[in-house]
Amino acid sequence: MKRTLFFLTALFILVSAYAQKREFRGAWIQCVNGQFQGMSTSAMQATLTEQLDELQRDGVNAIIFQVRPECDALYESKLEPWSRFLTGVQGQAPSPYWDPLQWMIDQCHKRGMELHAWINPYRAKTKGTTSLAANHIAITNPERVFAYDGLYILNPGIPQNRDYICKVVDDIVSRYDIDGLHIDDYFYPYPVPGQVIPDDDQYRQYGNGIKNRGDWRRYNVNLFIEQLSKTIHQRKPWVKFGVSPFGIYRNKKNDPLNGSDTNGLQNYDDLYADVLLWANNSWIDYCVPQIYWQIGHPTADYATLMKWWNKYFAKCPLYIGEDVERTVKYPDLANPSVNQMPAKYAMHKQLPNVKGTVLWYAKAVADNVGNYGTILRNTYWRYPALQPQTPNIDEKAPAKPRKVKPVWTSDGYILFWTAPKGSGWKDEAVRYVVYRFAKGQKADINNERSIVAITTDTFYKLPYEDGNTSYTYMVTSLDRMSNESKAAKKKVKL
């Protein structure tokens, strides 16, 4: 009995320590691994439904869904062909017809999750692709791509390619109600021994007087990131632009002032991606470095990199890209009987600029590899969390819900409310938070443990029992930037 009481007390203390009202809890759903390739419409929808349901139970509040892996589309596009990672044949539409991006937006919003559309901007062909559609950019404009280690890459040194990618993104942002536009770590290709980036002609033509080839390549990518940011925000200011770079910015041996004490491949020097510049210039709205290594890795130690990103990304919302399989694979250095999940999440909690986590990859969580999903659900993400605020875009809260009223219906006892009045996207309520407080409990919306739902609905089904127990329900509005209104309150007996 004492042992059980001790365990429950310890669990309560642990859960309470990790409860946060605002935290980005994301998961990447990728298609490039072929998990959906050639699936029927119904089979893919069933698979995604299963994953989303499991991720929702585990506390995930944002999905980053890959929709453009190689200048193709997992959505309806007049600019690029349907992806082979959807239908098995590039350019072939799904049958029965459906639009995976629109379907995912609907499904995620129904669950109170954000949906971020993930594109690979420069990659035009993966190694496994053997046939391209007639309207693919590498077929219609072969001079604008180069081959590298079995890949095709849209040449970042050609200005028209920047315009082309931004046109594709503008098409997505204008037609779909996405919450974010996300790119990952593929800029110039990862270096491969014996391979050379064939950009001599572009350097001569567009060199702009820049003496160093590396500086010129970084200049090209910088121009693209700035242009892409403007493209997104000019179309829809509320759509967040996120980047998920490789986990090392620079090694200290290359940059004694700003580098980390690591010895791996570098964003700045090898991929020509100056992520720190983008953050300092507010071109990106959030950053998710892929810190996929273990604590104690000899050349890219997780703890060292966490501290580096926390130090240098104080102004840009910082979420950590977390590898599920590697985390449960390696033992805790201080306690080898457990894996590194507790130590990593403790580190997240200790670093003040870390505002969330994105899990690589969603299927590993849904499959509960190493009990990762179960531990999220029962401990670290046991209570729902709102998205972090984005004050650089908007920090004004919407009005509170109106006409909160419990009503008996054929489906049971339902708490209804009406959307608040608002003019323009900054004032519009798009989600609602429902809190529940027992009799005698302080009704405080800062208590994240009292959240029972985050929903796009304007109703919530009450758990009626016998009508003898009093509760106070409070409902708040969230706008597109997750700014929260004051609460509307209603007492009920359940």
| Per-residue model confidence as pLDDT tens digits over 345-400 | 999 999 999 999 999 999 999 999 999 999 999 999 999 999 999 988 999 999 99
Residue owning tokens 């531990």:
375
Angle ∠(289,295,298) on CA atoms, nearest 5:
95
CA–CA gap between residue 265 and residue 243 (Å, rounded): 18
Residues near 231 by Cβ (< 8 Å), separated by ≥ 6?
166, 169, 170, 173
Of residues 283, 242, 247, the one with CA closest to residue 268: 247
CA separation for the pair 149, 151 (Å, rounded): 6
Alpha carbon separation from 392 to 42, 229, 274, 281, 403 (Å, rounded): 41, 13, 21, 12, 32
Helix/strand/coil for 461: strand
- Report how far residue 158's alpha carbon sits from residue 326's, in angstroms, rounded to the nearest whole number: 38
Q: Tell me the chain's radius of gyration from C-alpha atoms.
A: 24
- Position 203: which residue type? Y
Residue count of the chain, please give it. Answer: 494
pLDDT confidence of residue 5: 39
Q: Answer left, alpha or beta for residue 370, where phi above 0 means left and psi between -120 and 50 means alpha.
A: left
Three-state SS at 229: helix
pLDDT attached to residue 16: 53
Instruction: Give the C-alpha separation, 417 to 44, whole Å.
Output: 35
Residues 6+ apart with CB under 8 A from 356: 23, 24, 25, 26, 317, 319, 320, 388
- pLDDT, tens digit (0-9, with 9 covering 90-100), for 86-114: 999 999 999 999 999 999 999 999 999 99
pLDDT for 274: 98
Q: Quickly count helices (H) and strands (E) in the chain.
A: 14, 18
Q: What pLDDT does residue 368 have?
A: 98
Question: 216: alpha, beta or left, given left = phi > 0 and alpha = psi -120 to 50?
Answer: alpha
Residue 6's pLDDT is what?
Answer: 39
SS (H, E, C) 350-405: HCCCEEEEEEECHHHHHCCHHHHHHHHHHHHCCCCCECCCCCCCCCCCCCCCEEEE
User: 13: buried, middle or exposed (CB in 10 Å: 19+, 13-18, 0-12)?
Assistant: exposed
Averages of pLDDT over runs of 10 residues in the chain (494 residues) are 40 58 97 92 97 98 98 98 97 96 97 97 97 98 98 98 98 98 96 96 96 98 98 98 98 97 98 98 98 98 98 96 98 96 97 98 97 98 95 93 96 96 91 96 94 95 94 97 96 96
The pLDDT of residue 2 is 45
Per-residue pLDDT at 220: 98
Using CA atoms, how far apart are residues 263 and 247, in angstroms rounded to an integer? 12
Cβ atoms of 271 and 219 within 8 Å: the answer is no
Instruction: Using alpha carbons, select from 290, 300, 294 the residue that is nearest to residue 263.
Output: 300
| Sequence-distant (≥ 6) Cβ neighbours of residue 263 within 8 angstroms | 251, 253, 299, 300
pLDDT confidence of residue 384: 94
